[in-house]
Amino acid sequence: MGKRLLLLNLTRLGDMLQSQPLIEDLSDSGHNVSLLCLENFAPALSLMRRVKKSYALPGAKLLADADSRWTDAVAGLLELAREIRENIRPDVVVNLTPTLPARLLAKLLAPTPSDILGFGLDAEGFGVNGGVWSSFLSGASARRVNTPFNIVDMFRRMGKALCTPETVGRAGVFVLEKPSGPALAAALELLRQPENGAGGAAREPRGYVGFQLGASEARRQWPVEYFVALGERLWEKARFCPILLGAKTEAKLAEDYGARTASLHVNAVGKTDLPELAALLSKCRLLVTNDTGTMHLAAGLGVHCLAFFLATAQPWDTGPYLTDCCCLEPALPCHPCAYNHVCANNNACLRRIRPETVGDMLLGYLESGRWPVPGLELRTQARVWLTGLTESGFAVLRCLSGHDDEDRSRWLAQQRHVWRHILDDLDGGGIAGDEGQELLPALSSAFRDEVVPALTQAADMLAVLSEQGRIADKSSLAGQLFLRNCDRLQRVLDACPPLCSLSHFWRELVQDRGGDLVETVRLTDLLAKHLARWAEVQQ
């Protein structure tokens, strides 16, 4: 019998949209799914499919009230929680947001702490992760070279316990509702109001290409003047008219674009709500974008994109969940950088990928419907990836520029293979489909020298921990040694940056299962065997 599920996604627009494949899985498994999101993204709820009921959390108001009238903030939150519990009566809360406020809210909404899947709190208020994929996700993004899975796949695996084997084994269904009615009418009205440059006024556009100029940070934005050069070339060579897209906060970028260009374009920045933005995207042949929520909205509408992943952004985890999208990363050894990194190179990655070479790729695609082989100049400037899906439904990237032989690319490929085995094995099920037969690409000798000693030592220490754990409840000394060696293992993993995700995973694993020694020993034993095999194949 199906359950009443409440899904919490309280971060960015893109994350909310990318929970759609999990909603499809849960619905096809017989459950009723409701959704709680942030109030500023509530207009996008009309684009989400198969959501039984939806609620919006007034995050900005709660924060403002907490600063001035904290009792009002608490009262408002409790009232919203009461309304949700009464109207939905959730059997299970699926929390996809690892922050402490989201964990607290999940505990407030779930019948009991054990009825939380994903990120929750136990009865004493300590953070727990419901499932090994949740434990992996909570620490995977701490260092960018350690995130080998698309967020859609991680969301879907977090909900695996509630899904049928058929839905778990298929490719994710990322299809948003097509905009219509007033939203479509508003989009068509905007298209009738182009801003005419010298050379664009007398001709009708052959089609439209969306330009998302902004991003969450300035250091993740391809330069406006590069967008201008690209837009002028698309108009002059192929008569495709750029549509400038973005929020009101990005209006200055659109003004800058308009001041620099001499070609026809449509300025829709700050002039649409989310359904109207979706309607404009549906009129585009292609989207050129930074790593943004607009990119994910386009993917859910089936609109392909060419996307830039600059500074901290990389396509392995946040790329579009749609086949045949082109992802460009600057071909620099420092990319991607850490979230808290201060660039000593004047953000050189922003200007690494030139508009002339991007224009060649776009014109080739617009004429043929296929991405051309990148030329030598673009291969020097960028790592070029094409999105796809494996037979077992996981998002994957195929390199078009020859950068798949770099240590970073090979290490990510190794982690995809090994983590699939580790997580699915620890989760109590085998690996289905093509992932289980993948060969591990070889690493350079310098990279192996950095990783293999720590990996081997970690495997040996885990084997010792398994033996100590089996007698820890029979001897106080064995129990003390077990805890001490858990800390020693943590230090070994922390000291090796390429094993950062393993370090975080081990910390989460011990914290989550620390009260169940039998389960901790079982997982430690399995992890030891996987790491030993991983180290062995490096020799």
Residue 63: its pLDDT value, please? 67
Is residue 218 scored above 70 in pLDDT?
yes
The CATH number that applies at residue 309 is 3.40.50.2000
Domain-located, residue 185: no
CA proximity to 150, closest of 174, 167, 127: 174
Residue 199 pLDDT greater than 50, yes or no: no
- 388 and 486: one domain? no
Q: Would 414 be classed as within a structural domain?
A: no
**Are 28 and 164 members of one domain?**
yes
Whether residue 201 is found in the same domain as residue 55: no
| 364 and 218 within one domain | yes
CB atoms closer than 10 angstroms to residue 391: 12
CB 242 within 8 A of CB 209: yes
Q: What is d(CA 94, CA 321) in angstroms, rounded to the nearest whole number? A: 21
**Do residue 353 and residue 397 come from a single domain?**
yes
Q: b/e map of 457-466 (b: 16 or more CB within 10 Å)?
A: bbbbbbbbbb
Mean pLDDT in residue range 304-313: 95
Terminal C-alpha separation, the chain:
50
Over 78-128, what HEC string results?
A: HHHHHHHHHHHCCCEEEECCCCHHHHHHHHHHCCCHHHEEEEEECCCCCEE
Shared domain for 80 and 127, answered yes or no, is: yes
| Encoded tokens for 426 | 């620890």
Confirm whether 433 is domain-assigned. no
Residues 216, 348 share a domain: yes
Report CA-CA distances (Å) from 240 to 233, 366, 382.
9, 9, 24
Domain count, the chain: 3
The SS3 of residue 488 is: helix
**So what's the pLDDT on residue 377?**
95
Confirm whether 430 is domain-assigned: no
212 lies in the same domain as 162: no
Task: Look at 145 and 165; give whichever has higher pLDDT.
Answer: 165
pTM: 0.94
Residue 128 lies in a domain: yes
What is the predicted pLDDT for the residue at 122? Answer: 81
Partners of 308 in beta bridges: 290, 328
In a domain, 189, yes or no: no
Report yes or no: 3 and 88 within 8 Å, Cβ to Cβ.
no
For position 35, what pLDDT does the model report?
98
Domain stops at, among 405, 437, 471: 405
Angstrom distance (rounded) from CA 154 to CA 134? 8
Domain that holds residue 307: 194-405
Give the residue ranges of DSSP H helices in 182-223: 182-191
The 382-389 sheet, strands edge to edge: 266-267, 240-245, 207-212, 286-290, 305-308, 326-330, 382-389, 395-399
What is the band of 200 on the pLDDT scale with cuts at 50, 70, 90?
A: very low
Any domain includes 66:
yes
Residue 425 covered by a domain: no
Least confident residue range of 145-149, 198-202, 266-270, 516-520? 198-202
Cα separation, 255 vs 304, in Å, equals 26
pLDDT band at 433 (very low <50, low <70, confident <90, very high): very low
29/114 same-domain check:
yes
pLDDT-derived band at 150, boundaries 50, 70, 90: very high
Residue 143 is encoded by which pair of tokens?
């260092």
Residues 457 and 501 grouped into a single domain: yes
210 & 316 share domain:
yes
Q: How far apart are CA 438 and CA 433, in angstroms?
A: 10
Please return the burial class of 449, using the count of CB atoms within 10 Å of its CB with bins 0-12, 13-18 and 19+. Answer: exposed
Question: Which of 351, 383, 405 is the endpoint of a domain?
Answer: 405
Asked which of 134, 169, 204 is the last residue of a domain, the reply is 169
Phi, psi (degrees; rounded to nearest 5) at 326: -105, 125
Contact 316, 403 (CB under 8 A): no
Residue 198 has pLDDT above 60, yes or no: no
Which helix (H) or strand (E) segment is 394 a member of? Answer: none
**Encoding tokens for residue 400?**
């078009």
201 and 123, same structural domain?
Answer: no
Rg (CA), the chain: 24
Q: How far apart are CA 188 and CA 190, in angstroms?
A: 5
